[in-house]
Structure 1
Amino acid sequence: MKITLKQKNLADGRISLFIEYYKGSSTNVQGKRIHLRDFEYLKLYLHPEPNSAKEKKENKETLALAESIFTIRKAEYIQGRYDLKDTVKSKRTFLSYFEDLTEEKQKQDSLNNYGNWFSTLQHLKKVVSKNMIFEEVDENFIKKVRKYFENDALTKSDLPLSQNSKYSYFSKFKAALRNAFDEGYLTINYASKVKSFEQAESQREYLTFDELQSLAKAECKYPVLKKAFLFSCLSGLRWSDINTLTWSEVRDEGEFSKVNFRQEKTDGVEYLYISKQARELLGDRGSQTDRVFTGLKYGMTYNTEIIRWCNRAAVPKHITFHSARHTNAVLLLENGADIYTVSKRLGHREIRTTAIYAKIVDSKMKEAAEIIPELNIEL
């Protein structure tokens, strides 16, 4: 493989610095030679024609930084090719590395995913020494962590972890190991050598239409929360997508309205038609860059208010904001939507994810519940 530091002129006039990984070539079925290349864009830019001392200095410093990264990448390739250990990286502590990954998730991912990483970190601090370095990571260490999650880990209420919590936390631990291997902290991908926990089928709490109607009539302390929750019930959008929704993503096209957005969880682009009532919940259009649900926040205050709101509406269920998405799926299926359409609306990548909701509304199962004739019972 040939590694080269290159430059590219951008439309805005800047010069972008990137690394090209040339992996040779192959011939396709038509006999045409195809060159195999990967690119790493460094997000470093040069002034095309520096006129001032400041711009010349910035170019010099930027180019020096790019050269340093380029030198590191070449060294990493040589270490990987000859199975050499990076002595600097191998001396880094595992927990500090996991903490940095967790901070990255806070910036990039949904609050729910970050919360899982944060909880995993708190558990790892109980089983991993703060001084343990990557050089000490081996299969016995991996087994020790797995055994902790399987037998010893407890919730804040001192209860054993649920099966899905074991699955989630250990999956984050394995993801960190894979990442560390990819980045050269480990020469062995230990994540591939240990079995994950089985994921249990979780109960998906949802609202019936009558319960949703009761909520719609009941008082909620925070109007923006009520609008956002009901909008999620009618559209199926996740909290993360509703929270970041801007007016530029809401398209009014004659009699119809739709939302064009990029899913926070899957990074997939979605084009979702919404009902007239859902559009009415959004209110009057604001500036293109304005958030649609101004003032919506994530935290214990709003989570608690959802519970109190349900109590006022006499809905005896433990409802969270995500229950609105489950509600949307169930109501669509109960009112005749086919599973493929529901899957597309929810942005599921696999139909089996949506099939869980089909199980909830299985009409044949409902009919079977009443198929046995009534008994004359005397107690």
Structure 2
Amino acid sequence: MKRIRVTLRKKTIASGRLSLYLDFYPPFFNSESGEYSRREFLKLYLIAKPASPIEKILNAENLHRAELICSRRQNEVNKEFIYTPFELEELRKKETGRKSFLEFFKKEASLRTGKNLALWESAIKHFEKFLNDRDLLFEEVDAYLIEDFRSYLLKTESIRNIGKKLSQNTALSYFNKAKATLRKAYKLKMLQSDVNAQVDGIKEVESERNHLTLEESIALYNTPCIKEIVKRVSLFSLLTGMRYSDIAKLKWADLHNTAQGHFIRFRQQKTQKNELMPISEHAYKLMAEHATEGEIIFKGLKKWDVDRVLPIWVSEAGITKHITFHCFRHTYATLQISAGTDLFTVSKMLGHKSIKTTQIYAKLVDEKKIQAAGKIMLE
């Protein structure tokens, strides 16, 4: 690598002044901007023709400051020629330690999209609250601090729902964002020790997944709804297990009719995985009349209508459970397992990354437990 020469230069500007700047040759790589730099303006100025002793003194002071900066920058950009490898590594650690871990956390969040981005942003809000809105440098990050953040999440209230304690699974989600950031920072040598490995995670608790029985599903199907599109899209989710976010963006171009039946090709918004899902004839009939390929299948669908109408429709069907739209996905899974569909197939139909996620639904199927209890007969 070639030594970089740093020269202090002057540039004439308006009002009879000279702007002092540093000239680098060859250009050096600026790690902050990610670009090669040739000039660095110091925001220090000289009066071209000083007319008084005070102006001469100001010129001398600014010139001296500029020369000191020039000397310092000369050493900074030529570290490899001045320091030993050990000294360079120690300097790197010192410089990195003074950078903001909080800003690094925010940068990691900015790489996410959609619902995942919202979760990262919520995690950061809680981290800032935990820090009392102060900055946090890399040199301040240790296992004790992260353990304290873990304890904070398990005790704190929700920021959105004032007065409501943060659920353990939500705390788990937020803490995992911090741990992912710690892993990345250690991998990039921003942290000198693997803090993430030194801190235990938060255990997931099995959350209640409300779902409809087959009898309740039939009752809902036979109950009129004040918004026909809400009924159609709800039953479509119940028959396919698809999420609202994926159904809402379905276009006719995503539908494929073959000799084997009807299929939908789509990308799951949550996992960003491409899926090819077979759908039943019943689900197919719930779609609107076929239009051009670029058009949305469930045209006119609004989340606000679903949230407003769904509780009324469910109540009119005689169902007293708290049912949200996502419960139709749970219903699909439990009804499939109750009907004897194996877990592997259900997992594939739901687009789960792991069959462990699908196994949760198997625990909801009480009918299977009742059947199993009666299989061992001693008389």
- Name the TM-score, length of structure 1 as normaliser: 0.67
Partner of 1:339: 343
Partner of 2:199: 194
- What amino acid does structure 1 have at the position aligned with 2:219? S
When the two chains are superposed, the root-mean-square deviation of aligned CA atoms in Å is 3.5
- What amino acid does structure 2 have at the position aligned with 1:287? T
Partner of 1:265: 270
Select the residue among 208, 212, 215 that pairs with 1:203: 208
1:258 and 1:273 in contact (8 A); partners too: yes
- Cα offset for 1:367? 4.0
Partners of 1:219 and 1:101 in 2: CA distance: 47
Distance 1:356 1:104, change over 3 A: same
Partners of 2:230 and 2:256 in 1: CA distance: 22
Does residue 282 (structure 1) correspond to residue 277 (structure 2)? The answer is no
1:220 and 1:226 in contact (8 A); partners too: yes
1:154 and 1:160 in contact (8 A); partners too: yes
Alignment of 1:1-379 (within 5 A): 69=34, 82=89, 84-85=92-93, 87=95, 90-92=98-100, 94=102, 96-102=103-109, 104-105=111-112, 108-109=113-114, 111=115, 113-135=116-138, 136-154=140-158, 156-182=161-187, 185-254=190-259, 256-298=261-303, 302-367=306-371
Distance 1:313 1:363, change over 3 A: closer
Partners of 2:303 and 2:124 in 1: CA distance: 21
CA displacement 1:3-51 (0-9 Å, x = unmatched): xxxxxxxxxxxxxxxxxxxxxxxxxxxxxxxxxxxxxxxxxxxxxxxxx
- Cα offset for 1:131? 3.0
Query: Which shifted more, 289-298 or 193-202?
Result: 289-298
1:218 and 1:309 in contact (8 A); partners too: yes
- What amino acid does structure 2 have at the position aligned with 1:331? L
Partner of 1:34: none
- What amino acid does structure 2 have at the position aligned with 1:321? F
Distance 1:195 1:218, change over 3 A: same
Partner secondary structure for residue 301 of structure 2: coil
Partners of 1:356 and 1:338 in 2: CA distance: 13
- Cα offset for 1:85? 3.8
Runs of 4+ displaced beyond 6 Å: 368-371
The gaps in structure 2 that reach 5 residues or longer are: 1-28, 38-76
Partners of 1:315 and 1:337 in 2: CA distance: 26
- Cα offset for 1:366? 1.8
- Cα offset for 1:360? 2.1
- Cα offset for 1:198? 0.7
- Name the TM-score, length of structure 2 as normaliser: 0.67
- Cα offset for 1:368? 6.9
Partners of 2:158 and 2:299 in 1: CA distance: 38
1:86 and 1:185 in contact (8 A); partners too: no
Query: Which shifted more, 207-216 or 362-371?
Result: 362-371
Distance 1:242 1:86, change over 3 A: farther
- Cα offset for 1:231? 0.8
- Cα offset for 1:255? 6.0
- Cα offset for 1:180? 4.1
The gaps in structure 1 that reach 5 residues or longer are: 1-63, 372-379
Partners of 1:225 and 1:364 in 2: CA distance: 32
**Structure whose alpha-carbon radius of gyration is higher:** 2
- Cα offset for 1:326? 0.8
Partner of 2:60: none
Equivalent pairs: percent with the same residue?
33
- What amino acid does structure 2 have at the position aligned with 1:128? L
